[in-house]
Structure 1
Amino acid sequence: MATPGASVASTARDMLSVVESIRLSPVFAGRTEEMETLNAALARADAGEPQAFLIGGEAGVGKTRLLEEFLRGAEERGAMTAVGRCLELGTDGLPYHPFVTAARALTGNEAELEAVLPEFAPDAVSELWPWGLVDMDDTHPREGRSRLFELTAQAFERLAADRTVVLVLEDLHWADRSSRELLAYLYRSVHRTRLLIVATYRSDDVHRRHPLRPFLAELDRMRVVTRLDLRRLTREEVRAQLAGIRDLAEPEPALVARVFDRTDGNPFFVEELVSSGGDRLSESLRDLLLVRIEELPDHAQRVVRMAGEGGDLVEYGLLAAVTAMPEDELLDALRAAVAGCVLVPDVSCGRDAYRWRHALLREAVCDDLLPGERSRLNRRYAEALEGEPGLVPAEEFRTRVARHWHHARVAAKALPAVLAAAAEARGRHAFAEQHELLERALELWDEAPADVRAVVDWEDFGKAEAYPPAGGYVDLLAEKVIAARYAGEHERAYSAAKWALKLVDEEREPVRAAWFWLQRNRLVCDLGRGDGWKEISRARELLAGQPPSDVHAAVLASAAGWAMVHAPSADGLRTAEEAVALAVASGSDEQEINARVTAGVLRCLLGDHERGLSELLATRERAHELDDHLGVVRAGLNLSAELGALGRSAEAIEAAEAAAATAGRHGRGCTAAFALANKAEAQRSLGRWDDAEDTLARAADVVRSPLVRGAIALNRAALTLLRGHDEAAGTHLADARELIGTEASQPQVAIPLRAMDLELAGRRDDREEARRILSTALDEGFPPGQHRHAWPLLRIAAAHAVAEPDLLARLREAAAALPQDAPVWVAYARLTEAELARAEGASAPDAWAAAATAFEPLDRPYELALARHRWAEALLASGQRAAAAALLRQAYETADRMRAAPLRDELAQLAARAGIPLVQEPEAPTAEDDAFGLTAREREVLRLVAQGRTNRQIAEELFISPKTVSVHVSNVMAKLGVSTRGEAAYKARPVLEGR
């Protein structure tokens, strides 16, 4: 088989420089509305508002042409454009291929790339961004995938910071799953930048079971994505297209009518029909398309049929090797195919290549091949690639070889090629594609000769999960379990683990069997089919008496983690300590840090707080020593959480800030944002609400992960609710639920969500909804360690008096079961008890006094103000006016300073009803004040009231808030002993006239 030399490549390049694709429709007909929509989106992107579009339409309707016209205009306006195309490879899909091809389109801007991406360049260009950004050996695979997504979003955000970037991904119906997931991440996470993302797909290909269908459903739920569905052309638009094709000012009406009726306005079919003379349209679309092929010379037809099996785009050198034609004959054939509008020269891949003018042409050609012909052609492609790997881009080599050998039906060659492609997909964090390739390897296993199976390299199998390979079919199953779990295919991973356990002899291979039981433990939890205790217990039984190993350490660390979440106990702590010892003995640093963090948290949950916190601090230092920044951050986040759970919020802020700083130094913006969300929660506890808002704004600047954005939305919901912005709080809660997704059911999220829902229902006086929320919360209970979230929920439930007698009893029962292992929770217990007494109709000033006294030394100003409010209310009921007035003023000052509007309003209303002034002026009363005791500011307010001014108008004139005006008006009316503003003005007329 001939291999093209340098002269061939040079000749091809010369040909590419002079041969142009013949466009059958030089006139861009129709699409006025769509172009206006896209141009308007470009203008918004230019203004710094990122845009996201999804364009669907049937084959031939003009999606590519629309984008070509739009991109031409965008470039004229100074935008940087990058187009990536998906390849029709089915389960062989090249991971992230459309992003790689789009990145290549940016390689002409190396200086600009290096300026905005200094930590990425030159890798962003030379190492095939995006996966060149992440070192597989430097991080856990699943963490590496998250890191890859985050860095890609960050890269595009920076590129588009000062210059608009238009990213186009075509033919999404052929996209690999990893590309779809990365695109969804970009759609959700990129914000505050000049980026416009457009993806296209062929709608008539998306059948009921097509993998793109659930992706489209997911995008429909995103408010940030605009869908455009391209319709067929109207009769008038077909007339304009025909005018362009025929170079006629006005096509004959009969021709327009015939073409429109027979094509139904599909632009591609219009072109094909006109090019065939308009009389050769058969019932079969395939036959119509083959007309164009059959019109080519024989040698050109041969080249075109061979090119079909090469893919949507085939390199010139590869085609030359496969056809084995003399150079002049090949170039002449290609020239004919280009002139016949079948193939189009393409240099987007960085080398001479050809792509099909339309995918439908390739599909027709491939469908016309005989089965044996297809197998033979795929074998020739595979042999050509193995003979000269440089014929295709390096990142495509293994996948394309695997595909060709598989379609050639040569198992001896296909198995090692598929395994190599699977390993490469794993290295690119493309776990969905790795899993599909492993499925193919399992199918090929029995077909491949024994000597081929014997030489498979198992060294890296299961590396990410410390699997001990033995060499064989079970090892393929182990790798499949890992890949499927990382890809989110939990059901398929669970089935593979079950099958493997039927094949493994547990007596002869206890460690391998324990590994599979550990995977089943995780998958049972992921699938919601249990708590995983049975599976983890079986793994521990199998490892009893076995020497230290990574598997043993991982099993015990998981058992300790189970205890931490489900049933904190001394046995769980001993298991964690044993896991630490085994991890040290086996040299597993990752498992050591993991187990140490678990041990520290368990100590805190068991009441040994100081030792637990010391353990977490020591673990953070140990992670520093091991240069394990992920371990540093995990220890720091748990340290912050446990300090917060003890009410030591100031220390929690320091720990969260340190974790955020570490994550930030290593470019992990989303992890840093999560730590900042923890910090904001602690600031909110301390009453530093403005600081908390600033911290959340910092977090929002660096976050891209939907999960972390959900955590920020949850924090914002809590703040806006405290300040009385109920509508905004409801919006934030909805955003949090959407962004957090299924993890919203976890107790640390579900309980705060219910508490805020309960508060909103109480403010609406929707007692039925409030009872439903409370009943659900009590039915599900509060797992160990969740008392920090449970106490506020119980307090809210009692405060709104939503409970009937049986629910009040359940509230008391739930409160009695919650820990009071820190002063803050002792104070919350007293506050909740006082609220329960009030809900039952008791005044209970002593209970409120106890709650206020408990909160006074704790730096919890909001909760202290709550207690003082109700204490004052109880004192007023018993006639103790002076003491109540002091408490009301203290609580009001706090609520006003923190802008806690609901509490501030309740305090003002209570004070008004009691005739207690909340605002006291420092100056002594003048003689004119003696009659009514009005202060100078109150006289100013009264003067404006008498003039008929509203509270807002008074606030604007006196430069104070409307709420403060309301308080002054209430005080004035209380002092004057009147009930209306008119009465107040009339009764104080002597004072006003004296001025």
Structure 2
Amino acid sequence: MHIRTVSPVFVGRAPERATLAEALASATAGAPQAVLIGGEAGVGKSRLLAEFLAEARAAGAVTAEGACVEVGVEGLPFAPVSTVLRGLNRQLGEELAEAAAGFGGELGRLLPELGGPTAAARAGRDEDERARLFELTARLLETLAADRTLVLVIEDLHWSDRSTRGLLGYLFRSLQRCRVLLLATYRSDDIHRRHPLRPFLAELDRQRTVLRVELARFTREEVRGQLAGIRGSAPSERELDQVYQRSDGNAFFVEELATASDCGGGSILSDSVRDLLLVRVEALPESAQRVVRTLAEGGSKVEHALLRAVTGLGEDELIEALRTAVGASILRADEDDSYGFRHALVREAVDDDLLPGERSRLSRRYAEALEADPDLVRADERPARLASYWYHARDAARALPATLSAAAAARCRHAYAEQLHLLERALEVWDDAPAEVRRRLPLAEGVESYPLCDCDDEELSFLDLLAEMAVTARRAGDPERGLTVVNRALRHMNERSHPLRAAWFWTQKSRLMRNLARSDGWSELATAQELLAGFPPSRVHAHVMTEAAGWRTVFDPRPEGVAVADQAVELSRQVGDEESELNALISRGGLLAEGGDGDAAVAVLRDAARRAEETELVSVFKRSLVNLVSLLEGIGRSEEAVADADRGVPIAYRYGLRDTESWLHGNRADSLFSLGRWAECEIAVRESRRTAQTPVSHALAAKRMALLAVARGDLETAEAELTRMTEHYNTFDVSAPQYAHPAAQARIGFAAQQGRILDARRLLAETLAVDLAPGVGRYTWPMLDAAAVAESEARGVPAAEPGQPAAISRIRACAASLPRSYPVWRAYALLVEAELRRAEGTARPADWAAAAAAFDGLTRPRERARIALRWAETLLAEGEREAAAERLAEAHATAQRLGAGPLLTEAERLAQRGRLPLTPDDDLDQPDSFGLTRRELDVLALVAAGRTNRQIAEELFISPKTASVHVSNILAKLDVTGRGQAAALAHRLGLVGT
């Protein structure tokens, strides 16, 4: 029995084919492309892809296809990606192995043929392994597609697991400079409001590199062409009308109607879609129907050997039944000796037609067959499928251990969302499973090794399950669910006495509260520490104290925190927890630096980085390296910071830590900015943005670009970057000084350059009002410097005068609370005070001379140029013209080399007002006072005094119109935008009297 249901002639789709051809051409030219193809079930997505892939192969491209696999109601983690990589491996063989050399163990999670993970990775200690897996996958594809075009297809995205969506999203964002075309299909009619694919599609819509194509139904003429291809002759008008009306242009329904009519069923078809799809199934012999029904409950596809074991048919009988179903175009045979339905709609109709008892019985048969012979399915799919079969068999005693085993396998593949889903199922069947089953659960294989405490085995197993769920929810990006689980565990333990367990859960709650930006998490950590009182050292102690030390590093980095870090280090060593020890040492280094012992801090961090690299604790190594570079910059050792960042970037690349690359590029950019290497700084910031993977990293890149733009005087770019920074900062807690103070520094500098002194003051007040430690030297001194400059520049502005004394007092009070442990911090303290005295009109040459001396030996050209400029200004006011000219020429040369627009403008204006040469060739015979006439100077004096045009006219015996003309001329000559700025400039440059 063989029925042709597919037209050999490809009908329609000209615009869509043109779009795909254009995407292929762009990919072949070296620009990676991604196209999402949506459409209702049966509209022709797979046929369009099949035609296009044939054309791509004819053009020399290498193609590989994978499909999201439905097992019950959840997809197998990474199944389509594994299938695609397997297809590439079959075609490229040794070349793929060479491209994966050095990190094949990691990629073995997706393609077992490349090998297994390392021992450290199997231990599950590294929370960054998922990000590494994604980056290494991208790197593998980039390598393979350097000299050839790869066309990779993922079908049925509506069944995709969250981990697959995460990996695809990463590839869409991260693939660069390679010849890759990614194609994915999904059912648009299945994407209801709460479907998990909807937010994924919305996110992709914001990426300019991703195209969306929606396939429409066929027109009446296209249905005519399809019927003609299936039948081999044109349909009659009556038949065309009938098929078109009933199919409504859906290509698959056209095929089914045409086939049913050919089989003599046209007159008995009901209006039910399900009945339409079941017509040809019910026409099969009973043995073939039995196989089809069994296959429907097994998943999207079932291996031949497994199907034989479940059906119980003999080999010949099974093959004959399969041949019949394949010949009727109901099933299809795949290359890997598995079978699936030719169209998912038919499978859904057959599965829906089963009785509930039939479904559970078939699921049990699948589970029993798989347990009897595990080799019936691929090893990477076995745990998830077995767990699903037992769950749908409604056998809690068998489902619970199988589900926990599948959760462990999902964790090993970094499929955290799928792991959480499986753990939720384990929790669902927990109470239904017999107590003896719960007591002998192999949790050492199924969940992480959490700190043990005094409770019976069954109780311990349940708490282990909740502990694993809490950590998994955090890793899966679902802190709300994690918080719910933690609260449940804490309520559970309130009825019993498990203080050590409770302390561990309170520590997790602290993390989750910070992730959700609901608090800084200190009260939860304090509760955990109280619960530990009186107990001997344990892994719980080490964990809690390490978290407390890390908290202090971020939120309260005062020297007292060193004692907490020392305690964490000692506890970790006592219980043999090396990861906690290294993390505690990193926190200790940061706290030592804030306390003034920078040399010891650098030594601690370098040693921690060495040990972490030796033991493959990649997340610890990342933290040590990023903190080391930041610390070196913070204590004024910028050249060393650049060198360590340069050393760290290749290591981060080797480990596949793309976001760590972003942090290192960003920290490197900070040091390059300090060193005055602004062109290199901009390149580093762009690299930081290119490799950023989190809102934090994107926000920091925007902040750095804004600071650079403010320093250059590029206010348009600064405004755009500050807007971008704010958008990203809105997604996480930014109350810690390391985020809040540099952001305020950029905003204050931008407001000051726009003449918005009141906004600058408000920004500083709001930042300092947050209930934090008073600040840290690394981040707070530059913010105070920006605020002091804003007050200095606003001197004499009428609107600024009323609040200026209070604003200056606020800055001085904060400065008095800050440490001055390093030369760079002491230099900033003198610079801030000098700027405040300038704002008060009391600055003298000695103030600037002291600041200049403090910056000797520090490579901070921008600050030195500003000091030289201010010094020249005070020297000029005291009549020391020769010394003033020397300082001014120094400031002008540095500002010109840096491209510091605002400093350059100030230097040129001071030279013009004071008739000082900027270079030996300067001509000083130029108009004085910016070319203002005597009458304009008189008008400017009254503008500076706050007079209106009418008042000016009355005092000078001129008409208001003439006064208005004078004011307009003054604004133009001074190159300012308003009377307030003109008044401030006039006072600052001495163009008018007091």
- Band of TM-score, shorter chain: 0.7 to 0.9
* Pick aligned residue for 1:346 from 310, 330, 334: 334
Structure 2 distance, partners of 1:294, 1:522, is 57
Q: Is 1:75 aligned to 2:57, yes or no?
A: yes
- Which residue pairs with 1:971 in the alignment? none
- Which residue pairs with 2:739 in the alignment? 749
- Which residue pairs with 1:300 in the alignment? 288
Native 8 Å contact 1:91 1:437 kept in 2: no
Shift of 1:590: 0.8
Shift of 1:99: 0.9
Structure 2 vs 1, CA of residues 71 and 366 (structure 1 numbering), >3 Å: closer, same or farther? Answer: same
User: When the two structures are superposed, what TM-score results if normalisation uses the length of structure 2?
Assistant: 0.84
Q: Is 1:533 aligned to 2:516, yes or no?
A: no
Q: Give the residue type in structure 2 aligned to 1:793.
A: M
Structure 2 distance, partners of 1:637, 1:292, is 64
Shift of 1:355: 1.8
* Pick aligned residue for 2:201 from 213, 216, 228: 216
Q: Is 1:795 aligned to 2:790, yes or no?
A: no
* Pick aligned residue for 2:509 from 517, 520, 523: 520
Structure 2 vs 1, CA of residues 465 and 673 (structure 1 numbering), >3 Å: closer, same or farther? Answer: farther
Native 8 Å contact 1:189 1:703 kept in 2: no
Structure 2 vs 1, CA of residues 415 and 368 (structure 1 numbering), >3 Å: closer, same or farther? Answer: same
Structure 2 vs 1, CA of residues 571 and 818 (structure 1 numbering), >3 Å: closer, same or farther? Answer: closer
Q: Is 1:35 aligned to 2:25, yes or no?
A: no
Structure 2 vs 1, CA of residues 159 and 724 (structure 1 numbering), >3 Å: closer, same or farther? Answer: farther
Native 8 Å contact 1:843 1:877 kept in 2: no
Structure 1 distance, partners of 2:706, 2:72, is 43
- Which residue pairs with 2:31 in the alignment? 49
Structure 2 distance, partners of 1:399, 1:170, is 20
* Pick aligned residue for 1:390 from 363, 375, 378: 375
Q: Give the residue type in structure 2 aligned to 1:527.
A: L
Identity score, percent: 48
Q: Is 1:682 aligned to 2:671, yes or no?
A: yes
Shift of 1:131: 9.4
Native 8 Å contact 1:50 1:191 kept in 2: yes
Native 8 Å contact 1:103 1:129 kept in 2: no
* Pick aligned residue for 1:648 from 625, 637, 642: 637
List aligned pairs for 1:286-365, cutoff 5 A: 286-347=274-335, 351-365=336-350
Structure 2 distance, partners of 1:890, 1:206, is 65
Q: Is 1:494 aligned to 2:483, yes or no?
A: yes
Structure 1 distance, partners of 2:145, 2:713, is 37
List aligned pairs for 1:563-582, cutoff 5 A: 563-569=552-558, 571-582=560-571
- Which residue pairs with 2:133 in the alignment? 148
Shift of 1:545: 2.9
List aligned pairs for 1:646-725, cutoff 5 A: 646-660=635-649, 662-664=651-653, 666=655, 668=657, 670-693=659-682, 695=684, 708=697, 711-712=700-701, 714-725=703-714
Residues 307-330 of structure 1: per-residue CA shift (max 9 Å, x gap): 100111111111122122233332
Q: Give the residue type in structure 2 aligned to 1:176.
A: D
List aligned pairs for 1:472-621, cutoff 5 A: 472-504=461-493, 508-569=497-558, 571-620=560-609
User: When the two structures are superposed, what TM-score results if normalisation uses the length of structure 1?
Assistant: 0.84
Structure 2 distance, partners of 1:739, 1:20, is 59
- Which residue pairs with 1:112 in the alignment? 95
Shift of 1:794: 3.4
Structure 1 distance, partners of 2:5, 2:749, is 64
Mean alpha-carbon deviation: is it higher for 362-371 or for 784-793? 784-793
Structure 2 distance, partners of 1:428, 1:900, is 50
Mean alpha-carbon deviation: is it higher for 481-490 or for 236-245? 236-245
Q: Give the residue type in structure 1 aligned to 2:547.
A: S
Native 8 Å contact 2:104 2:114 kept in 1: no
Residues 223-276 of structure 1: per-residue CA shift (max 9 Å, x gap): 43222222222333333333323333x544444444333333222222222222
Shift of 1:52: 2.2
Unaligned stretches of 5+ in structure 1? Answer: 1-18, 934-977, 980-995
Mean alpha-carbon deviation: is it higher for 302-311 or for 687-696? 687-696
Structure 2 vs 1, CA of residues 891 and 284 (structure 1 numbering), >3 Å: closer, same or farther? Answer: same
* Pick aligned residue for 2:143 from 145, 154, 158: 158
Structure 2 vs 1, CA of residues 43 and 417 (structure 1 numbering), >3 Å: closer, same or farther? Answer: same
Structure 2 distance, partners of 1:812, 1:240, is 83
Structure 1 distance, partners of 2:2, 2:809, is 83
Shift of 1:909: 4.6
Residues 146-169 of structure 1: per-residue CA shift (max 9 Å, x gap): 221221122122222222222222
Structure 2 distance, partners of 1:70, 1:844, is 77
SS in 1 for 2:93: helix
List aligned pairs for 1:54-69, cutoff 5 A: 54-69=36-51
Structure 2 vs 1, CA of residues 232 and 857 (structure 1 numbering), >3 Å: closer, same or farther? Answer: same
Native 8 Å contact 2:473 2:481 kept in 1: yes
Residues 765-811 of structure 1: per-residue CA shift (max 9 Å, x gap): 56676566455434437756544333333333443457653555544
Native 8 Å contact 1:167 1:197 kept in 2: yes
Shift of 1:395: 0.8
Native 8 Å contact 2:775 2:818 kept in 1: no
Structure 1 distance, partners of 2:563, 2:497, is 28
Structure 2 vs 1, CA of residues 826 and 383 (structure 1 numbering), >3 Å: closer, same or farther? Answer: same
SS in 2 for 1:463: coil
Shift of 1:649: 1.4
Structure 2 vs 1, CA of residues 261 and 839 (structure 1 numbering), >3 Å: closer, same or farther? Answer: farther
Shift of 1:451: 2.8
Structure 2 distance, partners of 1:904, 1:733, is 23
Residues 894-913 of structure 1: per-residue CA shift (max 9 Å, x gap): 12222334433443454355
- Which residue pairs with 1:408 in the alignment? 393
Native 8 Å contact 2:131 2:657 kept in 1: no
Q: Is 1:380 aligned to 2:362, yes or no?
A: no
Structure 2 distance, partners of 1:20, 1:881, is 103
Shift of 1:705: 6.7
Q: Give the residue type in structure 1 aligned to 2:271.
A: E
Residues 906-953 of structure 1: per-residue CA shift (max 9 Å, x gap): 4345435555443445xxx9xxx9x989xxxxxxxxxxxxxxxxxxxx
Native 8 Å contact 1:412 1:449 kept in 2: yes
Structure 1 distance, partners of 2:37, 2:658, is 31
Shift of 1:20: 9.8
Structure 2 distance, partners of 1:124, 1:627, is 16
Shift of 1:570: 5.5
Structure 2 distance, partners of 1:918, 1:449, is 89
Structure 1 distance, partners of 2:445, 2:322, is 44
SS in 2 for 1:82: strand
Mean alpha-carbon deviation: is it higher for 172-181 or for 839-848? 839-848
Shift of 1:616: 3.2
Shift of 1:701: 8.1
- Which residue pairs with 2:942 in the alignment? none
Native 8 Å contact 1:189 1:704 kept in 2: no
Q: Give the residue type in structure 2 aligned to 1:442.
A: L
Native 8 Å contact 1:91 1:176 kept in 2: no
Shift of 1:374: 0.9
SS in 1 for 2:65: strand
Residues 40-98 of structure 1: per-residue CA shift (max 9 Å, x gap): 12221112211223222221222222222222222222222222211223664311111
Shift of 1:365: 0.6
Structure 1 distance, partners of 2:398, 2:615, is 43
- Which residue pairs with 2:966 in the alignment? none
Native 8 Å contact 2:872 2:888 kept in 1: yes
Residues 678-737 of structure 1: per-residue CA shift (max 9 Å, x gap): 223212211122343455577678776776566555444444553445545555556666
List aligned pairs for 1:165-314, cutoff 5 A: 165-248=150-233, 251-277=235-261, 282-314=270-302
Q: Is 1:822 aligned to 2:811, yes or no?
A: no
Native 8 Å contact 1:100 1:129 kept in 2: no
Structure 1 distance, partners of 2:235, 2:206, is 45
SS in 2 for 1:745: coil
